[in-house]
Amino acid sequence: MKKNRRLVQFAVVCASETLIADYLDILSKDNTIQNICYEVTKRHALDERSHSGVFSHVALEVLKNESKETRTLFINTLKSTVPLFAHTEMKEWEKIFGILNFPNYQEILRDTDTLKNIGIYDNSVNKLLLRLGAM
Ligand SMILES: [Fe+2]
């Protein structure tokens, strides 16, 4: 159904926008990164912060008069989208690097694979879920 497809797309966008805003907010306060990266991240974080709340607000407005079924679809999509942002896609990168015969790619993949604990800054998503009565 077209409405459900759009709702799923909107839930993924809400997860994406709130997760990136939280992540950039953390990263923009890390002055140990290279100066140019720090400045770019700081500005990107300001941009994301200025509009990320709009998505949560619209989600609450859109869902407030919707059925339990529709709300559940949105909530479940939002919840299942969050872990996707921590997926390293190592198998895909291995194929890409292999096709490109990228120098030292096996070593890069091995190094990256040791960083298994990837944090997700999900405060804003959790706040939205809480306001939707899902937590
Ligand atoms: Fe954004």
Task: Say how many Å lie between the CA of residue 23 and the centre of ligand 1.
Answer: 12
Task: Say how many Å lie between the CA of residue 85 and the centre of ligand 1.
Answer: 15
User: What CA–CA distance (Å, rounded) separates 105 from 47?
Assistant: 34
Cα-based distances in Å from 74 to 12, 77, 98, 126:
9, 5, 38, 14
| Sequential pLDDT tens for the chain (135 residues) | 899 999 999 999 999 999 999 989 888 888 888 999 989 999 999 999 999 899 999 999 999 999 999 999 999 999 999 988 878 888 999 999 999 999 999 999 888 877 766 778 888 899 999 999 887
- For the chain, the domains span 2-86+120-131
Pick from 36, 14, 41, 13: which is nearest to 26 by CA? 41
Task: Say how many Å lie between the CA of residue 14 and the centre of ligand 1.
Answer: 9
Burial class (CB in 10 A: 0-12, 13-18, 19+), 108: middle
Task: Say how many Å lie between the CA of residue 100 and the centre of ligand 1.
Answer: 31
User: What CA–CA distance (Å, rounded) separates 129 from 131?
Assistant: 5
Place of tokens 């459900």: 4
Residue 128 in contact with residue 57, Cβ under 8 Å?
no
pTM of the model: 0.79
Task: Say how many Å lie between the CA of residue 1 and the centre of ligand 1.
Answer: 27
Strands, DSSP E only, in 71-116?
none
